[in-house]
Structure 1
Amino acid sequence: MNSKIDQFDQKILSLLQQDARMSHAEIGRQVHLSQPAVSERIRRLESSGVIRGYRAEVDPKAFGYQMTAMIRISTQQGRPYTQYVTQSPEIIDCYTVTGEDGCVMKVLATDVEHLQRLINQLNAFGSTSTAIVLTTHVNGKVITPPSV
């Protein structure tokens, strides 16, 4: 754990992860600090890069996406996929990983046909393997210090 993050910072970070729109005064009430002290701590956490940003969580169905899938690509050397995945709005997460697969990505699709078109396009970068997400058990979990 970063030694510059104390118990107050941890509580502030936990509250902001649960509700980024919570006022500094309300955070102060919950962590027993003044509003100016909370504001200063948040400013420091932002400037040091601990807090990387704020954003709204949007339901993909609002844009017509009815399904989520995980696609793995066994990449072939000389076939870079980075530009494609950064420009494709359906690909919402992409990770370079160890093992047989070069990357794992989370994609959104409006239907099975849309998913098939995405898979066909990704096949240009290597062999793909797809799993359709049936249920999400954990999403956007609050990040806390390790328990070890």
Structure 2
Amino acid sequence: MIDETDRKIIVALAADARLSIKQLAQRVELSSPSVSERLKRLEDRGVIQGFTLDLDTRMLDYPLQAIVRIKPLPGKLHIVQKLIEEIPQITECDKVTGDDCFVARLLLRSIEQLDGILDRIADKAETSTAIVKAQPVKRRLPPL
């Protein structure tokens, strides 16, 4: 799906998405127009879906993170999914197989805030919560 040059471009951008086309071209040893064309093709094919920020959420007054497993009660799956989508403190959520239907990551200012969020879905789903102590592996690229 990608060749070695595309891999080099992706790795360079994963390390610093703010690289200019010129800087990126120098790193992967291509001309700027060639890198621009490859970037466009990677975006058009959906390999690169966007560029993002890496924030320290503690600096934004979110000192706590929680992982919540959510198991909707019978007949409540779509209602629970809509609620999850509407709660801004849920920054990521996966729909999964197994006993639970959803695994969500929340950013929180306090344990009390967690209680308020969980109360919103308590009559529609069972939850199991774990407070994140540390994140030894942050989101990263898979082996390319």
Alignment of 1:38-117 (within 5 A): 38-79=35-76, 80-117=79-116
Match of 1:132 in 2: 131
Match of 1:27 in 2: 24
Instruction: Indicate if the aligned counterparts of 1:73 and 1:129 stay in contact, CA closer than 8 A.
Output: yes
What per-residue deviation string (whole Å, max 9, x for no partner) do you get for residues 63-108 of structure 1?
3211000000112232121221112110001111111111100001
- Quote the Cα distance in structure 2 between the aligned partners of 1:105 and 1:56: 20
Identity %: 35
Give the letter for the 1:18 counterpart.
A
| 1:140 shift after superposition | 2.2
Instruction: Indicate if the aligned counterparts of 2:71 and 2:99 stay in contact, CA closer than 8 A.
Output: yes
- Quote the Cα distance in structure 1 between the aligned partners of 2:115 and 2:25: 50
Give the letter for the 1:113 counterpart.
E
- Quote the Cα distance in structure 2 between the aligned partners of 1:144 and 1:18: 14
Instruction: Indicate if the aligned counterparts of 1:45 and 1:51 stay in contact, CA closer than 8 A.
Output: yes
3-state secondary structure, aligned to 2:123: helix
Give the letter for the 2:11 counterpart.
S
Gaps of 5+ in 1: none
Q: Which of 7, 10, 13 is matched with 1:13 structurally? A: 10
Give the letter for the 2:68 counterpart.
I
Give the letter for the 1:125 counterpart.
K
Instruction: Indicate if the aligned counterparts of 2:80 and 2:125 stay in contact, CA closer than 8 A.
Output: no
Give the letter for the 1:70 counterpart.
I
How many residue pairs were aligned? 142
Gaps of 5+ in 2: none
Moved more, 132-141 or 113-122: 113-122
TM-score (norm 2): 0.92
What is the root-mean-square deviation in Å for CA atoms of aligned residues?
Answer: 1.3
